[in-house]
Amino acid sequence: MNAAFRRGEAITRLESYSEVIVLHLTLITLFPDSRDLTHWTAELEAFAGVLRRYDKAKTKAKHNFSPEDVERALLDVLEGNRGKDYIIQDVMGVKKGIVLDYTQVDWGKVEKAITLFSKNLFHECSL
């Protein structure tokens, strides 16, 4: 399907996927040798595919959002209502038996992963 979308609808979709994308990027950053790495990477590629599809604008604009829009939405997850503590809770939910608090995460690496994901979104998503 080669549908075009309104910008508001595309931004809403981006925001709805932001937390789960940041979770996957955090998991990859924290556990780069995990046996689940392939799965997490495949999930990110699937989210990237959905976002690329929603990027096609219905108006004369060529795109609904830029890599900077994506990066800002993902970084907002770290600073939003749920924030880093909730990302850590989500990580512990995925990695049963792991106990973390937000001070144990190199958030600079997570932010770099967010930037890389955002920049590569409109190419093939490689981490």
Q: What is the pLDDT of residue 59?
A: 81
pTM: 0.88
Mean pLDDT by groups of 10 residues along the chain of 127 residues: 80 92 97 96 94 85 88 92 87 90 90 96 60
Q: What is the pLDDT of residue 126?
A: 44
What would the DSSP string read from start to end of 30-88?
H-TT-TTHHHHHHHHHHHHHHHHHHTBBSSSSSBS--HHHHHHHHHHHHHSSSHHHHHH
How far is 50 from 102, CA to CA, in rounded Å?
29
How far is 37 from 32, CA to CA, in rounded Å?
7
How far is 96 from 39, CA to CA, in rounded Å?
16
Q: What is the pLDDT of residue 127?
A: 47
**Dihedral (CA of 17, 30, 112, 81) sign:** positive
How far is 52 from 83, CA to CA, in rounded Å?
25
Q: What is the pLDDT of residue 1?
A: 52
Q: What is the pLDDT of residue 89?
A: 92
